[in-house]
Amino acid sequence: MKHSFLDKYSDLDSAVHRIDARVKALCALGMIAAVVTTPVERVLPFAAYFAILASVFLLSGIPLRHILARLLIVAPFILLFAVIAPFVPHYSGEAGHRVGVLGLRYYPSGITMLISVTAKAMGGVLCIVALTSTTPFSELLRALERLRVPKFFLALLSFAYRYLFIFIDEFERMKRARDARSFGGKRWWHMQVLGRMVGTMFLRSFERGERVYGAMAARGFDGAFRSIRPLRIDAGDAATGAAFAALVAAAWLAL
């Protein structure tokens, strides 16, 4: 079971990792809000955001490779957008320049829009990576619980997270078994095999869910979730959070 790729590097030890999860969650949310609401025309705030994120990553010791790999996720959206954006007017009354092909017109505001949207999408991803790569998922869930996210939903998330690894492993095993029998499953008429794999997986997950509940009920599960490790915000955490918020706010307002 080697699926630590989900919240990989969250078990490292660094100044960033040691900050209370609630502080980090709020900082990340605040920063994403700032990134997304920064007006399209402004460039400097984005430079500041990326500088802040870069210093967080430097402090946390997360490898650059990992960060870049996560950034690739937004690539399809941005590439498609990059093809279209220059030819779409983003402000009414914009004149645009004739390109001469297919009656297309080129609008300079499209480029501004492209840069801004790319920066926003990447900023969002980097904030999420910074949060989840420095906070173990279980702690993040407890932080969210304190931040008043419904417990039932968090319980659902924590179960899903716990069994994810097992199911991914099982599914990989099943695929390996299929491939070993040289079936391939590479053509559309092999869909039925895929469907049966999914069906089998569902049955296993469903029955496992029932067993898990049975085991929990036998150990006195009453619907409440308890934890022995208390969350604690010390003065340093609070100061760090406040400083971070001030930096982001300054970038948004002043630049």
The size of the interface with other proteins (CB under 8 A), counted in residues, is: 100
| Residues 82-121: x where in contact with other proteins by CB under 8 A, - otherwise, as a string | --xx--xxxxxxxxx------x-x-xxx--xx--xx-xxx
| 97 backbone dihedrals φ, ψ, rounded to 5° | -115, 140
| Beta bridge mates, 106 | 97
> Can you spell out the DSSP letters for 14-60?
SHHHHS-HHHHHHHHHHHHHHHHHS-TT--HHHHHHHHHHHHHHHHH
Angstrom CA distances, 196 to 155, 186, 191, 202, stand at 29, 15, 9, 10
Query: Residues 132 to 171: which contact other proteins by CB under 8 A?
Result: 132, 137, 140, 150, 152-153, 155-164, 166-168, 170-171
| Residues 205-234: x where in contact with other proteins by CB under 8 A, - otherwise, as a string | xx-xxx-xx--xx---xxx-----------
- Cβ proximity to other proteins: between 132 and 240 the closer is 132
Query: Residues 28 to 57: which contact other proteins by CB under 8 A?
Result: 28-29, 32-33, 35-37, 39-41
Using a 10 angstrom Cβ sphere, with 0-12 exposed, 13-18 middle and 19 or more buried, the burial of residue 92 is exposed
- Cβ proximity to other proteins: between 193 and 239 the closer is 193
- Cβ proximity to other proteins: between 206 and 239 the closer is 206
- Determine which residue in the list 12, 26, 115, 197 makes contact with other proteins, applying CB under 8 A: 197
| Long-range contacts formed by 107-112: CB under 8 A, 24+ apart | 110/85, 110/86, 111/85, 111/86, 112/40, 112/41
Angstrom CA distances, 48 to 119, 129, 247, 249, stand at 12, 18, 9, 11
Euclidean distance between CA atoms 92 and 207, whole angstroms: 57
Name the minimum Å distance from CB 231 to other proteins.
18
Q: Find the part of the chain contacting other proteins (CB under 8 A) among 11-19, 50-58, 186-194, 227-235.
A: 186-194
Name the minimum Å distance from CB 104 to other proteins.
10
- Determine which residue in the list 115, 128, 245, 247 makes contact with other proteins, applying CB under 8 A: 128
Name the minimum Å distance from CB 19 to other proteins.
17
187 binds other proteins (CB under 8 A): yes
- Determine which residue in the list 123, 143, 241, 244 makes contact with other proteins, applying CB under 8 A: 123
Asked if 142 and 161 touch (Cβ cutoff 8 Å), the reply is no
